[in-house]
Amino acid sequence: MSKWIESLHDAIDKRFGDTLKRLDSRVDELGYEVAPADLLSVCEVLRDEAPFNFEQLMDVCGVDYLAYGKSQWATDKSTSIGYSRGVERSTSHAFATGDELAVGERRFAVVYHLLSISRNQRLRLRCWCPPDDPPILDSVCPIWNGANWFEREAFDLYGILFNGHPDLRRLLTDYGFVGHPFRKDFPLIGNVEVRYDPEKRRVIYQPVSIEPRTTVPKVIRKDHQYVAGFKEPSDDA
């Protein structure tokens, strides 16, 4: 671990105590988890107080942990899931905790990437959205103005609301778009499609006409090379 990371880690532990929970990292970086109720107060301290001085918010990212860590590929048989697992909308809110899947708990999170220009240091914060529908967190726009479009993107793609945002509306998708395309249970074929109607002389929206299809193999070949213990016959046999 770098000296500046050790120094910043010690300063954060001394200032925040149990308010921030250190995240595991396999690379040379520093990240913490913050509770929704503490998000704004922690961000204000990280921006204003030394030795933090994170003047700039580099990015805000939404994350969907639906069925995180659940493998759908550990099989040697054909399957109707896999690549097409998002065709049918799921109603479960599952995410992985270790080797188990918990249902009805945390699913959406927001990750904040901070930069201290004066100290040339970076920090990552992760905040879990409460298990409400829709998910909602406080906006950090009053702390960093640059969060405006980042939070609009997270709302557009993940459906995460930000309380106190000055203009929370879609940013990347079309005006008539239905749903949030980065959610894990969003249909791969979408919900609506657009076409030009010659009779109405305008573009109209209608339900998608594409049929859901499975994009994984229907049949797995049982060649001898996959049979355990099988050996090719020798020429002398």
- CA gyration radius, the chain: 24
What pLDDT is recorded for position 176?
Answer: 75
Under-70 pLDDT residues of the chain: 1, 70-105, 212-237
**Exposure letters 199-235 (e unless 16+ CB within 10 A, then b):** eeeeeeeeeeeeeeeeeeeeeeeeeeeeeeeeeeeee
What pLDDT is recorded for position 123?
Answer: 96
Q: How far apart are CA 126 and CA 21, in angstroms?
A: 10
What pLDDT is recorded for position 122?
Answer: 94
- CB under 8 Å to 15, separation ≥6 — which residues? 45, 49, 52
- CB under 8 Å to 205, separation ≥6 — which residues? 176, 192, 193, 194
Q: What is this structure's pTM?
A: 0.74
What pLDDT is recorded for position 70?
Answer: 67
pLDDT tens-digit readout, 3-12:
888 899 999 9
CATH of 3-207, one of 3.30.1330.60, 3.40.640.10, 3.30.460.80, 3.30.1490.190: 3.30.460.80
